[in-house]
Amino acid sequence: MRVLELRADQIEYLQNHQLSKKYEKAKQIFEQNPFHPSLHMKLLEPKHRLLYSFRLDRKYRAIFAYVAHETVEIIAFTNHYK
């Protein structure tokens, strides 16, 4: 699995929320095994939009979409509880 490079605003979000290290760790796990239990990867509702998420920590998620076979693009980072 390959994750495309992040946009500047996404990098800034990670830095502002002290999530850069957590993202790098989760990204590495995701690239090796997207179904690793610690990621809690899931298809989001509504399912026809084909957006997925994986966990950075208990509070934050990375929202992503497949852009090609074995390639994903991070769409956003979100606070899971807002």
Sign of the four-CA dihedral 40, 15, 71, 32? negative
Specify the pLDDT at position 80. 77
* pLDDT of 48 over the 90 cut: yes
What topology is assigned to 2-79 in CATH?
YaeB-like fold (3.30.2310)
CB 59 within 8 A of CB 53: no
| The pLDDT value given to residue 82 | 61
Calculate mean pLDDT across residues 22-50.
96
Kindly state the percentage of the chain with pLDDT values over 70: 99
- Average pLDDT in the 61-79 region? 96
What is the mean predicted confidence (pLDDT) over 47-67?
A: 96
Cis preceding-peptide flag for 34 (omega within 30 of 0): no
Helices 20-32 + 8-16 axis angle, to 10 = 120
Where are the domains positioned within the chain?
Answer: 2-79
Looking at the DSSP bridge assignments, the partners of residue 2 are 71
Supply 3's token pair.
């994750």
Please say if the pLDDT value at position 64 is more than 70.
yes
